[in-house]
Structure 1
């Protein structure tokens, strides 16, 4: 299976289940003309995967995209430390939505599926000292919404409603159900 993502978290989640992964990515512009936020994320996920699948027609290609959304505003990966601090301030003491879309494509087998999983994350109030400490750790700089739920950012999370792994970047349970619907069993995972 080809993972069309450089995300170490996605690779780790899939490796834990025995997927034999080859990493191949294409640089695409991560924008969508879709109006609905969920449709936008699904579109971007699909674009990442199809760009790789077109050059690997006989292979299963999987990829994903994750965003944080609050008050209708999408928080992607921060470009600067100040942007990361502002994102964390906007999330402090509030709840927000995390949307992860994933796509699986095998052009030779006419498989082209994209789904999205939504979760809600509730943050405690974060002090300026905590924000400064966290941003200085550099952890938020490659994470949607400027935090990683599986790392140091976990100290900000009061509770979640939804799928922890989707918040982390790949909804593995949902993905396995999709594979099962395609007739791919857990026992055969390391063979695809």
Structure 2
């Protein structure tokens, strides 16, 4: 069982196992609940409106947190989201193995950017947000390696944009990474912990 330092549970407006693990490993007691929002519609409308990837990541994080903030008014509700952009193209989570292989071929040998946003609501109002980014250069991948990687990684690749988890087998895909490791995993954790300390949810 994890050891928690928080004075009260934090509500994570997400079904992301990765974000929950990060928070719990850092001593944050988490109540996780998926905020059912139409992410695809938000991304399409955002792109049509000329929004940038970090703006869309923030808008999605805000949408998730605001939805659960109506239910957990007195709590600290955390929403997070991430966008992957490469050469002007946005990448979503792959739909299936064939889609994952296609994403890896498109990212192979190129540098892409991950934008991670976090938004916090309290007492029904947005009280804090933060956006960070990281750049990752994927080595040139052969089709044979892509197939072997997908065999080893299994369905886990379908839960993340880019078809990788850099904290696991996804590390094999890269020859250069610049940025915060937590941001790459989908949550700017250290600024969020700072905010929770300011609000006395975590000890200073």
Asked whether the two chains share a fold, i.e. TM above 0.5, the reply is yes
Give the Cα–Cα distance (whole angstroms) in 2 for the partners of residues 48 and 133 of structure 1.
Answer: 35
1:101 aligns with 2:117: yes
Q: Distance in 2 between matches of 1:53 and 1:186?
A: 20
Change (3 A) 1:25 1:77: same
Distance 2:146 2:12 in 1: 33
Q: Deviations over 1:69-101 (max 9, x none)?
A: 101111110012111111101111111001111
What is the rounded CA distance, in whole Å, between the counterparts of 2:19 and 2:63 in structure 1?
17
Structure 1, unaligned stretches of length 5 or more? none
**Where do residues 1-192 of structure 1 align in structure 2 (5 Å cutoff)?**
1-30=10-39, 31-32=42-43, 33-34=45-46, 35-107=51-123, 110-136=125-151, 137-138=153-154, 139-180=156-197, 182-184=198-200, 186-187=202-203
CA RMSD of aligned residues (A): 1.7
SS in structure 1 opposite 2:203?
Answer: helix
Structure 2: runs of 5 or more not aligned: 1-9
CA distance in 1, matches of 2:195, 2:88: 29
Instruction: Count matched residues.
Output: 186
1:25 is displaced (CA, Å) by 1.8
Is this contact kept in 1: 2:83–2:92, CA < 8 A? yes
- Measure the CA separation in 2 of the matches of 1:111 and 1:83: 36
Give TM-score scaled by structure 2 length.
0.85
Measure how far apart 1:156 and its partner are.
0.8
Deviation digits for residues 21-67 of structure 1 (CA, Å, limit 9, x no counterpart): 11122210011434222111100111011111111100001121112
Measure the CA separation in 2 of the matches of 1:131 and 1:147.
11
Distance 2:101 2:126 in 1: 41
